[in-house]
């Protein structure tokens, strides 16, 4: 998964404006207590970060 696909999925699930705010503020245990932005900046693969987001938001399997 590329960063562009990751952000497209975030926008689809949370909305274009809120997805950026959520990524900056929401700390996820599955990301070792980091935010989405911190994990991506730290070099975590977008696919792994997406899995953490999907789990945190309890997304249905069809959106994972």
Whole-number Å distance between alpha carbons of 37 and 46 = 10
Contact 12, 6 (CB under 8 A): no
Is residue 63 within 8 Å of 55, Cβ to Cβ? no
For the segment 8-50, what is each residue's pLDDT rounded down to a tens digit? 999 999 999 999 999 999 999 999 999 999 999 999 999 999 9
Model confidence pTM above 0.85? yes
- What is the distance between the alpha carbons of residues 64 and 59, in angstroms, rounded to a whole number? 7
């Amino acid at each position: 998964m590329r960063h562009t696909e990751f952000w497209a999925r975030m926008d689809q699930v949370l909305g274009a404006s809120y997805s950026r705010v959520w990524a900056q503020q929401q700390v996820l245990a599955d990301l070792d207590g980091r935010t989405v932005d911190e994990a991506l900046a730290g070099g975590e693969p977008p696919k792994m970060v997406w899995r953490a987001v999907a789990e945190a938001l309890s997304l249905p399997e069809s959106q994972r």
